[in-house]
Homo-oligomer: A and B are copies of this chain.
Amino acid sequence: MFSYTAPVRDLRFVLEELLEHRSLALPGFEEASSELVEAVLEEAARLAGEVWGPLNASGDRQGCSRRDNGGVTLPDGFIEAYQAYVDGGWNGIGVSEALGGQGLPEVVASSVQEMLHGANMALGLCPMLTAGAIEALAHHGSDALKETYLPRLVEGSWTGTMNLTEPQAGSDLSKVRTRAVPCPDEKGDHYRLFGQKIFITWGEHDAAENIVHLVLARTPDAPEGNKGISLFLVPKYLVSEPLVNAAGSLGERNDVTCASIEHKLGIHGSPTCTLSFGEGDGAIGYLVGEEGRGLNHMFTMMNEARHKVGIQGIGVAERACQHAFAYALDRVQGKARGAETTISEHLDVRRMLLSMRARTDALRALALYCAAELDVARHGADESERKGAQARVDVLIPVVKSFSTDQAVDIASMGVQVHGGMGFIEETGAAQLLRDARIAPIYEGTNGIQALDLAGRKLQRDGGAALNDLLERVEATAEALRGHGELVALGESLAAGAADLRAAMAIVLEQGSDPENGADAIQAYATPFLNLAGHVLCAWQMGQSALKASAAQAGGSSEPFYRAKLVAADFALRQWLPVGRANRSVIEAGMASLAGFDATTI
């Protein structure tokens, strides 16, 4: 039976050697020593490996079920596992101390998230959603709302949800129809909500005392489209008194019910609900931020939620790697050099294993680089430093979200293939990872939307300045590799990749700024452009990884770990990057074929 082991050594390599623990040097993190970080990682690894991980397969098998009374029964053990997470204080580790959290750097919080998602992605979704609700409230909630709701959310004893989608309003949220009616005649400054939301992750469950729904809805007489949408907080149980330091005084059940739960391809342990608001007198909700600014407020937290989905992809990819390696090292089949052997010795299987490992390493390094930049953007000592980091974060986040999740699906699928026929049998566990991973390119904005965000908004608004900043760093790494005897070929490959990305960027900037066809050009080039950027940026991180590993060896280390990092870097730069580089040709081929067909006759 496979069991997941959190990749502490790999995470530490990224935090300590690639990122040189630079987040710890920032103002505000004075109390976070490298020893503390190490202890946090070890402790999280225990929770992930011993408590969450063992429930992954059983949670998938059992799934969630809706009771007749509208309640949702979670898989066995999930409530206890979530409680262990809350009791351990894990929910607040990345939340600022001002809000009651531990205020650890984002790089540390992201590392912990990766472990938890690798252990149990379905369960990991619950705190991911809560984190979004905390962000939205912290930035836009009134003091009264913050006082009442934040402490429990930060603690994790209450959980959060994001209510965006309606049947006619998916990627296009301007179509939201849920209504929020002000109630001047009632006591309290609230609205009553009426409508139905679908695809609400962890929308109903008994793992927490209360659930705090954040809901997009339209006020009466609000204008059509985006500007008519506001954000509301709708608690499952009404709260009469602020709960700070109080033992808890939950009131009546609010008029929000779980109408059904979805039967999904994967993440069976995560209840995906249809929520009905206002089947009776209307669900009581409180305005968060300003009327008409709901989408803006929601997108404040979207950016970070997208980073978290990328991290989630990496968690599943890591689990898929471990699963495939364990099988390949155990399964005896065929011969290598005349002797019976495990399949891990066949070069064609090794290609799959190394591809999985190298890509997972690369995605992790890039996602944590992005987290480190987030730390600088929030805590950097001077403003220009913060602004520069934020600009890089803005470019990196759609890449981390899309590229990590697309790759995670492919890595999980490759993991199935390593298992041969056993991979197709559900009890083996490899297939679940493919099923689970498959949602990540879809939610929190489809990967196509991420690509538009990168090639459109993010690239066009600064004329490519932030990506150029990153590309200069890529080129510096390429130079360093070229100056390094045994790594010259890696440097050449990285330099060629950077040149491709520059060429593609020039096309997307030039054609994208065309007043007439710019929007089409951006749509046409977005996905191959993001794919190219993902390959080059990940390859860059693997180039850095090679330099660090090589330096460690030069310093006398004979750890197999560093040899492995050099092999993975070689694969990433010389066997993986070339495939990504082909996207330059795809973009250079233009968009005529995309524009020129009639979908009804092809």
Contact = CB atoms under 8 A, between A and B. Distances in A.
A349 B448 contact: yes
Contacts of A589: 489, 574-575, 578
Interface stretch (A299-307, A383-391, A426-434): A426-434
B582 A526 contact: no
15 contacts: A165-B421, A170-B420, A175-B333, A265-B416, A347-B591, A351-B524, A354-B594, A409-B413, A424-B442, A563-B601, A571-B594, A574-B586, A574-B589, A579-B582, A579-B583
Interface string A574-592: 1100110111011001011
Interface string A141-183: 0000000000000000000000001001011100100000000
A446 interface: yes
Contacts of A135: none
A421 B435 contact: no
Interface string A339-351: 0000011111111
A94 interface: no
Contacts of A354: 593-594, 597, 602
Contact of A574 (B262, B421, B568, B593): B593
Contacts of A353: 599, 602
A307 to B, nearest CB: 20
B564 A602 contact: yes
A424 B198 CA distance: 13
Contacts of A263: 425-427
Nearest to A61: B263
Contacts of A443: 421
Interface string A397-426: 000000000000100010011001101111
| A-B pairs with lowest CB-CB distance, top 8 | A347-B523, A578-B585, A560-B601, A574-B589, A564-B602, A265-B431, A344-B599, A567-B597
Contacts of A593: 354, 567, 570-571, 574-575
A585 to B, nearest CB: 4
Contacts of A424: 264-266, 438-439, 442
A103 to B, nearest CB: 34
A582 B496 CA distance: 13
A561 B601 contact: yes
A265 B426 contact: yes
Interface in A324-370: 325, 328-329, 332-335, 344-354, 357
Q: How many copies does the complex hold?
A: 2
B592 A570 contact: yes
A210 B424 CA distance: 28
Contacts of A575: 528, 586, 589, 593
A316 interface: no
Nearest to A349: B448
Contacts of A561: 601
A451 B571 contact: no
Given A567-B593, A574-B593, A527 B602 contact: no
A51 B431 CA distance: 30
Contacts of A247: none
Contacts of A579: 579, 582-583, 586
A350 B451 contact: no
A596 interface: yes
A442 B413 contact: no
A563 to B, nearest CB: 8
A269 to B, nearest CB: 15
Contacts of A347: 520, 523-524, 591, 594-595
Contacts of A346: 448, 523
A494 to B, nearest CB: 13
Given A575-B586, A593-B575, A601-B561, A348 B417 contact: no
**Of residues A199, A328, A423, A602, which shows the largest number of chain B Cβ atoms within 10 Å of its Cβ?**
A602
Contact of A199 (B349, B421, B602): B421
A489 B585 CA distance: 12
Contacts of A435: 265, 435
A292 interface: no
Given A354-B597, A416-B438, A571-B593, 6 more contacts: A172-B334, A265-B426, A345-B599, A348-B452, A564-B598, A570-B592
A600 interface: yes
A49 interface: no
Contacts of A568: 597, 602
Nearest to A338: B519
B560 A598 contact: yes
B442 A357 contact: no
A165 B333 CA distance: 12
Contacts of A583: 579
Contact of A333 (B172, B266, B442, B563): B172
A505 B433 CA distance: 36
Interface string A439-468: 101110011100110000000000000000
Nearest to A449: B348
A346 B451 CA distance: 13
Contacts of A578: 582, 585-586, 589
